[in-house]
Amino acid sequence: MSNLPPKPPARPEKVSLWRYVKLFREDILSAQPAKLYRAWMAEFRTPFFRSYMVNDPGLLNVVLKERPDDFPKSARVGEGLRPLLGQSVFLTNGETWKRQRRIIDPAFEGGRLRDTFPAMWEAAEAAVSRLEEGETEIEEVTSHAAADVIFRTLFSIPIEHELASEVFSEFRDYQRSQPIVNVAAFLPMPSWMPRFFRRRTRETARSIRGLISRLTKARASAIAQGTAPDDLATKIMTTADPETGERFSSEEMVDQVAIFFLAGHETSASALAWTLYLLALYPEWQDRLAEEAQALKSCDFALMSKLKLSRDVFREGLRLYPPVPMMVREATCPESFRKRDVAKGSQIVISPWHLHRHERLWDNPDGFDPTRWHSENGRKCAREAYMPFSTGPRVCTGAGFAMVEGPLLLSMLLKTFEFELIEGRVPQPVAHLTVRAKDGIWLKVRKR
């Protein structure tokens, strides 16, 4: 097909700082100029600091893999998520972050994926049973399914459980009220100064954390009584830091569950929705995946190895619409990047959105081509220019989890349903907490 998957219109090459800040708060993607899809590095100046977007694979390797401790996560961008995530592993740095990962990582090791697979399978079956024919807003469908996966694998409860349902409902409100950046991202604000969060954002974050606290307290009680199920929450709450012997406190566990829900639900929902839209745009791929999905005859983790096409399609969806479009690190010492001086405190912006569509790296960068992963260019870019889950020591601990969940849900849905475009309903990607569609992704659903 000649039509390409949509992307946001890039802003003019030059706008004022305040116009840029306004655009940035409304939609970080549309605030960027078109030249970033071909630049190796770009500088952005504010009165208070400098930002550098880096697309050069060599520099990305330095920042994310070779010297990650010299480029910790920027507190500026994290400010916007602090009311919900507190001191979660997504926002911390240094020894605090390393301790958190030592406790969390064992729960997501390869063997645990096999253990959590039955819960994923049940959530996928439930998603199929809920879906009805007709014109449907697909982001709602994938959000419900991804939330169900998280609650079943984390707390052994379905989305219909009263507390799970409340968290899901509140989180949808939070996602709509929370811009991707807070005013603190642009101003030199001391820690004691108010962050000017929207009142609704603060209230919703407080409510979500209260609900999560009830879940974690109930699980702590079950662990103490020896009646807790062997799921991810139990694994994390009973794992001690191998270096200190400490476990997560109740407050720390609330922080971590909040990011598990954000990372495991919000990002998966975004990736699945956009991938289903791509399949509606290129329906010949739906038929191929539906045929492959016939292998899913029972809840058997070994069958995942047969979903090769589904995996390639899901990877391509993650390339074109990476759920987390930008990540920001901070230089802790003066640097020289591409013969340009980078001062201490500068913000280093890594943008999977631009990197995954970079005109000087990828063949057919804006096109949908799941076969690319088996080409020489695709394999090279997969190593150097593909990071939907970040890379290096800070790679998302749930990346393996997501690469089982995504292809499974995709295959189960396509085994039963077809998805068609609706004339005049072209989704416009924008960045909220993740890459979503401005007015939703509307598709026509019909049974095979």
Angle between helices 267-281 and 283-292 (to 10 degrees): 110
Lowest mean pLDDT of 78-82, 214-218, 258-262, 288-292, name the range.
78-82
If pLDDT is split at 50, 70 and 90, which confidence band does 187 have?
very low
If pLDDT is split at 50, 70 and 90, which confidence band does 2 have?
very low
- CA nearest 253: which of 126, 440, 86? 86
Give strand pairing partners of 42: 53
The identity of residue 403, as a single letter, is M
Mean pLDDT of 24-43: 82
Q: What mean pLDDT value characterizes the chain?
A: 88
CATH number of 17-447: 1.10.630.10
Distance between CA 119 and CA 126 in Å, rounded? 11
CA dihedral for 335, 341, 345, 349, sign (positive or negative) = negative
If pLDDT is split at 50, 70 and 90, which confidence band does 206 have?
confident
102-142 pLDDT, tens digit each = 999 998 887 788 899 999 999 999 999 999 999 999 999 99
pTM: 0.91
- CA nearest 406: which of 256, 260, 220, 270? 270
Distance between CA 420 and CA 276 in Å, rounded? 9
Distance between CA 166 and CA 169 in Å, rounded? 5
67-77 pLDDT, tens digit each = 999 999 987 76
Q: Which residues contact 362 (CB under 8 A, 6 or more apart)?
A: 356, 372, 377, 381, 385
In b/e form, how buried is each residue of 232-269, taking b as 16+ CB within 10 angstroms?
bbbbbbbbeeeeeeeebeeebbbbbbbbbbbbbbbbbb
Distance between CA 183 and CA 181 in Å, rounded? 7
Distance between CA 225 and CA 248 in Å, rounded? 18
* Cβ atoms 429, 435 nearer than 8 A: yes
First to last CA, the chain: 23
Q: Is the pLDDT of residue 50 over 50?
A: yes
* Cβ atoms 199, 83 nearer than 8 A: no
The identity of residue 215, as a single letter, is L
If pLDDT is split at 50, 70 and 90, which confidence band does 4 have?
confident
Mean pLDDT of 33-57: 88
Q: Which residues contact 267 (CB under 8 A, 6 or more apart)?
A: 323, 324, 402, 434
Output the 3-class SS for 392-431: HHHCCCCHHHHHHHHHHHHHHHHHHEEEEECCCCCCCEEE
* Cβ atoms 405, 268 nearer than 8 A: yes
* Cβ atoms 197, 185 nearer than 8 A: no
Q: Which residues contact 88 (CB under 8 A, 6 or more apart)?
A: 100, 255, 256, 258, 259
* Burial label, 183 (beta-carbon count in 10 A; 0-12, 13-18, 19+): middle
Q: Give the pairing of strands 442-447 and 134-137.
A: antiparallel
Cα-to-chain-centroid distance, residue 432: 11
Q: Is the pLDDT of residue 216 over 60?
A: yes
pLDDT at 93: 93
- The residue ranking higher by pLDDT, 190 or 166, is 166
Mean pLDDT of 296-317: 96
pLDDT at 193: 40
- The residue ranking higher by pLDDT, 212 or 25, is 212
Q: Is the pLDDT of residue 254 over 50?
A: yes
pLDDT at 194: 43
